[in-house]
Amino acid sequence: MSVNKEQRELSKAKEIHRIEEYYAHPVVSQAIARFCGADHLSPDFRLNDPNNKLADWSCEYVAIANENIAHEKADRGKDSPARSIKNKDLTTTLKQQPNSEIFMSFWQKELENNLPSRALFVIDLEYYNKNSPDRFLIDQLGVFNLIEPAYQLICQKLRQYGFNFNTVMTGKGYHFLSQISNQSPILEKIISLGAKVDPALRGLQESIPSNSKRDRAVTLASQQAHQGMGRLVQFFVSQLINEVRRNSQIPIEISDLGTEGIALDLTPNLVRSVETGMIGVPGSLYLKPQYSSNIYNQHGTVDHTRILTRVYRESAGQEIESLPQLILTRQNYNLAINNLQQANANIPESEKGLAKLIRDYQNSELYQFHQALDDNPGDHWTEWAQTYRNYAGIAGNNERLQRILAPGSHDLLEPGNLNYILNHLFDHWGANDNLAVAGHIRSFLRSAYEDPRFAWGDRFIRHYSATQHAEGWATIILGQRFDQK
């Protein structure tokens, strides 16, 4: 699908150069609203209209990120550039701070049956380069050509399963997007896959933090659906990651391991709980280079690069624009509007694809691993001092383990160190013929994240659960042992 002459002429006749005009454009406004679950939009719906009923969107909240928020939070010792807001406040917020990036919560509102209105299936593919973090801005087409084999293989696998999906070009990669709605019986199957929620996480979700915008408890079914879908995403990735590696010029990882590579990032699905997970909204600006200028603007690259937008590559089974054209489109508000006009911004429903994926997953070794995690909670917290927190005994003469487990060390937050220690423990505590050890490793990690000797500060209080962080990383890292060869 290509931008036709009439649309180009219309774009040229109504040239848009300011961010305020871009977000107020009805095509952009409706694309954002539909992605966030809006129904029955009027043809002239605009985000800048104060009479909008944004509270009707199915997502529980949206979030914005910009330089002002990043600086404000940095002054308070926080590293997050985003702030969650009620859906109804988006119009006012964009009026006050138009130069903002928009995110949608994974948490979706519940319907009368107390089940979430939908559950999101999201695959996150992203390039990283630690030595040259601005390379994705300097050589945009070159970077996306490196990503292309992975992109094509993921699309091919989704089609084999019968998925309906959209693909969105983000700043450094792609999102592959599908969903299951409340009306489908598949949703309850997905909920059953994530049925076991740790009591510590439930306690956090059932309470309402002081001074928080979250004004209600997170329902159990919403977390279960998020967990179940996360496990399905992990299984999907596990089936193709080694094939992607064989066809890639650079390393393919599940997080940013090494200096350069492409990450099939599972953290939004497995490390984040449903109420803390967010995804960038198609049609939104992509402002990470601007609010992380200390990383990306060391050589003035950001100052000499146009602001990027999130645009669609594929929608409703059709490619909207070629890769070289998309690189141009995402740097031009008017071309981005044409792109959004051609896409169906409603996240596609994939009942057939998910049903087939569930069938294969339940016959897999990864499913058995997930069941072992659910069935084996590990040692009770009253025993941790003698078991999991015997760091000297665990490390022995291994100097790397000694460093990782030293008091005050934060090495357990770094994926490379996590990969090393979790696999070391799996090999020494039980190995492949004893999956029950996975529960002990997960609980060991949780005990460390709750151990004041590591001086975590407020990292694992209020919104973020040490339990979920440990569960997610143990699932991601040890789950790689069951990747299809």
Same domain? For 138 and 66 the reply is yes
pLDDT band at 106 (very low <50, low <70, confident <90, very high): very high
**Rounded distance, CA 146 to CA 172, Å?**
11
Task: Say yes or no to pLDDT of 48 above 50.
Answer: yes
At residue 13, the pLDDT reads 53
At residue 423, the pLDDT reads 94
Of 328, 363, 398, the one marking the end of a domain is 363
Task: Say yes or no to pLDDT of 432 above 80.
Answer: no
Same domain? For 439 and 294 the reply is no
> pTM for this one?
0.94
Among 47-56, 426-435, 437-446, the least confident range = 426-435
Same domain? For 7 and 89 the reply is yes
Nearest to 105 by CA among 124, 91, 85, 75: 85
Same domain? For 191 and 220 the reply is yes
Condensed to tens digits (0 to 9), the pLDDT of residues 333-362 reads 999 999 999 999 999 999 999 999 999 999
Of 345, 363, 381, the one marking the end of a domain is 363
User: Euclidean distance between the first and final Cα of the chain, in Å?
Assistant: 36
* Burial group, residue 162, by CB count within 10 angstroms (0-12, 13-18, 19+): middle
Of 344, 363, 382, the one marking the end of a domain is 363
**Rounded distance, CA 282 to CA 169, Å?**
8
**Rounded distance, CA 346 to CA 367, Å?**
30
Same domain? For 219 and 275 the reply is yes
**Rounded distance, CA 3 to CA 21, Å?**
21
- The alpha carbon of 474 is separated from its chain's Cα centroid by a whole number of angstroms, namely 17
Same domain? For 40 and 106 the reply is yes
Condensed to tens digits (0 to 9), the pLDDT of residues 370-399 reads 999 999 999 999 999 999 999 999 999 999
Same domain? For 117 and 210 the reply is yes
Same domain? For 241 and 379 the reply is no
Same domain? For 406 and 325 the reply is no
Look up residue 285 and give its DSSP letter: E
pLDDT band at 5 (very low <50, low <70, confident <90, very high): low
Among 156-160, 337-341, 410-414, 458-462, the least confident range = 458-462
- The alpha carbon of 374 is separated from its chain's Cα centroid by a whole number of angstroms, namely 23
What is the β-pairing status of strands 260-265 and 252-253? parallel
Task: Say yes or no to pLDDT of 11 above 60.
Answer: no
User: By residue range, what is the domain housing residue 414?
Assistant: 364-482
Task: Say yes or no to pLDDT of 145 above 80.
Answer: yes
Task: Report the mean per-residue pLDDT for the chain.
Answer: 93
**Rounded distance, CA 223 to CA 194, Å?**
8
Residue spans of beta strands (DSSP E) within 113-272: 118-129, 166-169, 173-181, 252-253, 260-265
Same domain? For 300 and 403 the reply is no
Mean pLDDT of 69-84: 79
DSSP-assigned beta bridge partners for residue 280: 103
Calculate Rg over the CA atoms of the chain: 22
Same domain? For 432 and 310 the reply is no
Count of domains observed in the chain:
2
Return the top range by mean pLDDT from 65-69, 88-92, 154-158. 154-158
Same domain? For 16 and 83 the reply is yes
